[in-house]
Chain A
């Protein structure tokens, strides 16, 4: 089953009078359960592609489908609805709310989807175990290491049991052991839950974990091994 499909998408950013072509006609299909890496140098369009699939941005032309629904023309509020519960995000910077504890950060998306208190407690406790941070549940982000923060971010992305998780350079700010641990957790969760993972990276150690590698350059897909390794 197709989780996301992109049809001939372009994205042009206007900065004053200067136009930047971030994507120049990209088509891509992501199947359920994939563990796919988007690779390419800086400025190749990886992040833009992730933001379009993630309903954070809209294409200049072309169409984007998530779960068979055309999201390219949705208004802001509808896109927020789409993100909530369907898509989980993991960012390069450890994107946690600094004033909330690890537990509360993971719980946040569940509050937005309106889960009951019992359900929230069960899921958050389970996720904290899955990322091996049960003992750090009530620590704030500034009391956690970079690797721990990124693990909390992964747990938060998984909290609503989305169909798709998008990760933008998830290991870029981590040292090798922590990067490895994060990738192993993501791989394990992909296998255990069947949730689709798409991540942008240019770290060769991370690419090794991907079963499919899509290479972008100058806003175009130049290589797609297309099939599972």
Chain B
């Protein structure tokens, strides 16, 4: 039995129904514990004061915003190559979550930037490329919404996702070329000597895990809803025919 069997809609409904409560529960636990730990049990940063606590929402949501696009790219490829319907539906289900994550990252970034840099918004490369990523998400969601035929919509949005990924990457580096930034570099790399200190790092990792699980739970839930909606549509069509 190959891994692709799990992508059969009936099989998918079976295992995702069982997995969903566990994933959702774990997501709730990780997020609540991570955020509570981060907000109340860690010391203030010596330069940033208590604003450093925004990191527990800002960093996970920003990471998810990028990785969700990567997941959409992967599922789009699977749809174009192997034509698994669940794959296309998962890409569709993930996009609005990605939009929300991008908005959260931008808004928490603005709230953090105001006290630290003295401005809500700056045309810094990271901020700008996030705004562009947001526009890409909007275009993708709008294209899904505009087309009636589900297979046509899945094909066209997949092509858009592939082309969009290339151009989003290009924009990321073009923006670097265009302006120098205020935003600090990555503070969570695995291969660097100097990272965020352990006090902040442990709750941060926990809340990142929480956000990832939350995303998986939401995608499972939304994909299941979409499959049910399709079945309902098929039943209604059959009713009208008969």
User: Is this pair of chains taken from one and the same complex?
Assistant: no
- The residues of A with any CB-CB pair to B shorter than 8 Å are none
